[in-house]
């Protein structure tokens, strides 16, 4: 009787490893430095643009400072933070015939690599979406207030940040060229649903090349 009881419970195992890993992914930020710089340059550019009249009367100095911050943000998001925080990278290249090619890469899941967390993914996409919208608001406020000397800087801000947003959306959606389908699918996955880290790791995108029409 005693032996039978041991046999019945012999194959029962309690594995808390997966639950602990899931909780860790939801709660922790594994790349704090990349997360900081993902927001630092773009937020600094916005704050400097809004407050530059208070700090300095030099239009050229403010213009150059904001433009440098936008350029640093574009480079760091495109080449560093996207790769570390969501496992995605994109770039555009021109071939010998003068044709433009969009190239997308996604990090393959590997036990030796540090996976992105849900907190990092949310910070990455929210920062990527909200800041271009703020620059669009600046564009209309510049037009309505007739401060046309700032218009070129605002357009540069929209262009640089929208380029990263567009590239990463295409990368996440697998290179879908129909922008309406991309927007609908992206919003359904990113805004209306809770994304998991696996959504940002698409091994099928590795080395994917798409022609720009």
Which residue, chain included where needed, has tokens 């007739």?
Answer: 146
Please list the pLDDT of the chain residue by residue as tens digits (213 residues).
Answer: 444 444 444 444 444 445 544 544 555 788 899 999 999 999 999 999 999 888 878 889 999 999 999 999 999 999 999 988 988 888 877 878 878 777 888 876 554 445 568 889 999 999 999 999 999 999 999 999 888 889 999 999 999 999 999 999 988 887 555 444 544 454 454 444 433 434 434 333 444 444 343
Q: Looking up tokens 């927007």, which residue turns up?
A: 183
Give the number of other CB atoms < 10 A from CB of residue 161.
26
Q: Directed axis angle between helix 118-144 and helix 151-172, to 10°? A: 150
Contact 156, 67 (CB under 8 A): yes
How much is the mean pLDDT over the chain? 75
CB contact set of 184 (below 8 Å; sequence gap of 6+): none
Structure tokens at 153: 């800087």
- Model's pTM, two decimal places? 0.68
């Amino acid at each position: 009787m005693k032996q039978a009881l041991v046999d019945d419970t012999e194959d029962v195992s309690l594995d808390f490893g997966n639950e602990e890993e899931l909780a860790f992914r939801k709660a922790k930020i594994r790349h704090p430095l990349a997360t900081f710089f993902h927001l630092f340059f773009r937020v600094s550019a916005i704050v400097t643009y809004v407050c530059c009249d208070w700090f300095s009367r030099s239009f050229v100095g403010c213009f150059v400072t904001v433009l440098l911050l936008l350029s640093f943000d574009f480079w760091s998001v495109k080449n560093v933070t996207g790769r570390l925080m969501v496992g995605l990278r994109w770039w555009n290249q021109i071939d010998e015939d003068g044709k433009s090619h969009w190239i997308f890469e996604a990090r393959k899941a590997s036990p030796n690599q540090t996976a992105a967390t849900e907190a990092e993914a949310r910070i990455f996409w929210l920062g990527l979406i909200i800041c271009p919208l703020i620059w669009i608001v600046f564009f209309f406020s510049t037009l309505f207030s007739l401060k046309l000397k700032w218009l070129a800087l605002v357009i540069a801000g929209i262009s640089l940040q929208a380029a990263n947003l567009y590239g990463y959306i295409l990368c996440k959606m697998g290179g879908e060229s129909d922008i309406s389908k991309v927007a609908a699918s992206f919003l359904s996955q990113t805004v209306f649903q809770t994304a998991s880290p696996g959504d940002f790791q698409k091994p099928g995108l590795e080395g994917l090349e798409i022609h720009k029409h």
